[in-house]
Amino acid sequence: RELADEELFHRLRNVVNVMSVITRMTSKQQESVADFGQKITERLAALSTVHFSSSNRSSGVIGLAELTRSIVAAYAPVGELQIAINGPEVNLAPSLASPVSLALHELATNAVKYGSLGVEDGNVDVSWRLATEDNAKRVQLEWRETGGPEPKYSGRTGGTGIVKKIIEAAGGTLDLDWRGSGLVATLSVPVD
């Protein structure tokens, strides 16, 4: 029981820390209370989805495929032309579930607003692989958009700036490449 209480406290502390960062940084980027309310609600809903999923497991780990499907399903039906998800079975530690879910949420939101998911013929391919870097095992996830409008990088980082900082704090990286054919985002995080 004591071990379970410690794990619950640890998870709760992580969630509260992530929520604090999201709230603070989102408040700096929104021009109105209504915009802030909408953005913070969307981001907290993404967190809620992943934590509800992981709380149903005794180990606390969550599969990357399940996490990806649960986040992007709200934006387009997975497997129905617009979104393809492929990769080996990978389990994420509870400490990585929030950062990865926020990254996927932000990428999906931006794809609807500015990219491939905002047009009928647009597609997103989400794939990942396991790799070893500096004797450490990592999962490298690629989000590749095609068939959408040509991406335009405005220089503003917005939500992706928030997510990049959260991913970096978790020991990962998020790189964004605005190519003529669409955004390619590469996310790399440690795995056990």
Measured CA distances, 112 to 74, 107, 119 (Å): 11, 9, 8
CB 65 within 8 A of CB 86: no
DSSP assignment of 34-81:
HHHHHHHHHHHHHHHHHHHHHHTSSS--EEHHHHHHHHHTTTS-BTSS
Question: Is the confidence at residue 141, as pLDDT, over 70?
Answer: yes
> How many structural domains is the chain composed of?
1
Q: How many helices (H) and strands (E) does the chain have?
A: 5, 7
User: 158-169 and 2-29 helices cross at what angle (nearest 10)?
Assistant: 150
Maximum mean pLDDT: which of 30-44, 48-62, 114-128: 114-128
CATH code, domain carrying 38: 3.30.565.10
Distance CA 94, CA 150 (A): 36
| Residue 99 CB partners (closer than 8 Å, separation 6+) | 18, 163, 166, 167, 169, 170, 172, 189
Distance CA 108, CA 185 (A): 11
pTM, entire model: 0.73
Question: Is the confidence at residue 53, as pLDDT, over 80?
Answer: no
Give the residue-averaged pLDDT of 160-165.
84
Helix (H) / strand (E) containing 86: strand 83-86
Question: Is the confidence at residue 80, as pLDDT, over 70?
Answer: no
Q: Which of 158, 136, 137, 145 is nearest to 186 (CA)?
A: 145
**Domain span including residue 105:** 2-190
Question: Is the confidence at residue 48, as pLDDT, over 60?
Answer: yes
Please, what is the average pLDDT of the chain?
Answer: 80
CB 140 within 8 A of CB 129: yes
Instruction: Give 19 or 35, the one with higher predicted confidence.
Output: 35
Q: What pLDDT is attached to residue 56?
A: 47
Give the residue-averaged pLDDT of 69-98.
80
